[in-house]
Structure 1
């Protein structure tokens, strides 16, 4: 075993291939030898079967069994003829002065003839004569079995031997296979040795460059791919380490931002309050302002009051969903009616912005939920699309009917969509794609967060994606009671 392991891999591979080839050729030669012997035995049996059939014909024509004679010419110098009745007793045998008394039904050729009409045994020792014979037996219609036998002599043994000419041919083929196998395994083994050295270097973490191509064959192509992949992996790892440092810095920055997240609500509240304060102080300190300026400050106060009211409502709503979801009452509703009412309320605002709302949800959708929360879902989606999509159409479609206890509704616009890096963060609280634009539009940064939390509270899910032709598509899944 130790000496085997000392052999190089190409040599071990060649010896394995050589052993496999010799085993394959040996099996084929053995099979062919056995098959040819059976073929020649079958030919000899066919000749004896003709003699048996001739004797059975003579018996059928009325010739006495004890006085049967073999007048049919045959090529055998010595031929033994036996006739056995259906009980296995020998009634005639030309090789004995007296009839053998042993029951012959157990003889292989006799048993085969009884089952199939004919049978033979290539080489069997005769208990009565002490010689070895080739037996051939044939069953007649009257129940008699005629058995002829020829001595298994040297000449018969030579006759039944297979022709060994094909063995020389197979030997030559084996020699050619070994020569070709040597060169093939040597080439294959050298490639594998190079791969092994590459693996050892890779295990040590050495820097590997793709500058030594392998042979131009399938294994060489695979090897080249592996080396290139590893070289690319090393490059990717180096890039990853650099990106990891950058990501670590970014993560620390995010943690810093998260610490300030609790201050965002306070900040969002301070902005409209400060604006209202400035307006009121200006009005109080300048009682002689013109009517036009006074109305401007009052309208600014009203706008900030509405923004403050909206912010407080959204904060209150999302806090209630977070802190006391069990306290939110639910009742049997028709989601189609809820969507229809929200669309009807939003149509005038959308029309002023040149946006049409296409509501294709027309069939009843029974659902158990909170009406105000479900209204806030679609109102926030519509308000968001009107304010930020930049499109001119909003479409609400039922993606599936209310089957298997679920309903899927899609909400889409044909606007500009958002950059892909923003998609995972759209449902985060106070997340704004364009902060300046959102503040000008009066957004609180909580609309889509309310949408997601309200859907989750109803046991559903919501996802968002950019449409190929432009715009955003929200897919809402809710449990329905129909």
Structure 2
């Protein structure tokens, strides 16, 4: 049950409680009067006010019973409370007595009352009431027309001598104490019930949330709040658990990024220091006249130029990687036929690549439209081909390039028949400056950023890259791009 429903039920209960308490007081009073009468105690009028109160109660109950077709026995319980010695009650219908109670010695008083007021009360459809109080004698008469019959109620009473209502007053005092105690118990019980019914459903989840917050504050991100109810706190608990999981993932990712950053800085420092050391050594050789012939000086200068080219390529790659981190605002994307662009890139660089030992075998499906960047796609192609050439173990390396459509995606695959990499290295191959111990240990011709650029460029074009070893040997890169229509849909969904 939701907290909202519990609050609604609590408000309903609060509205109903006064009615229940009123009924309880009435029932308690009625029960007290009945027990008082059965114990042999009776009510007797000691004043005009008490007589008026007694007659009103008798009139209301008796005529109500008659209007609903009841029997005199139905109101007998109330009449029994009246003192039968000092009171006489008669009920007539059309002049005939149908009920009598009390001291018949007072019957003459009622006859005289009837004779005295006969001319004053006519038979009509309205109620007629006569009440007389004189010298300690009390007389009451009321007439009502009910379903065509004339009902007359007569009550005659005498003020008691030497008797009083101390007993009933004491009984009422005891009854009031009982009712008061019951009401206090009732209110306390209701408050306890409502607190358990409503407040506990709010306080306990708040305590659980507080406990979880304190655990997170102390660094325990494995905290998981268990909440088996379905109410307004359910989404809060789910959100809290999701938050703790995301915080843990974020912290772990931050630690990994920090570790990678340290590795990156160390790798950059190492890769920049290597060519700088060579440049410095050859410059010192020139300054010390170690290269004492024009041929040796030219050789030294060519080495310096080669090492400077390595530094320049590394800086360019770092700048491109930084530029790609800014995203699509710096590198806008457009409609591209992946097959045609791949063919253009191969044709433009085929002579230099073949001169370096590459042999190409291509399968390019005619029309494979994607949203992408010419610059990024050129860098992907260049870096992958350069990677295959750099780590070939034979004089020639065969490079297989495939572009096709598959299951609503554009598939670009570049594979070679080179040495491949150890299986344990596949997962980190796309990290900046990462190199394996064997097949990828030669770095004099590269910056160590090529495959990291490939990975980032593919991600910017919403591509997914997969690296696998080929059988019997070789390395395969597969990049899956959304087709142009699906690309727009992905951007809309994001």
TM-score normalized with structure 1 length: 0.43
Q: Which has the larger radius of gyration?
A: 2
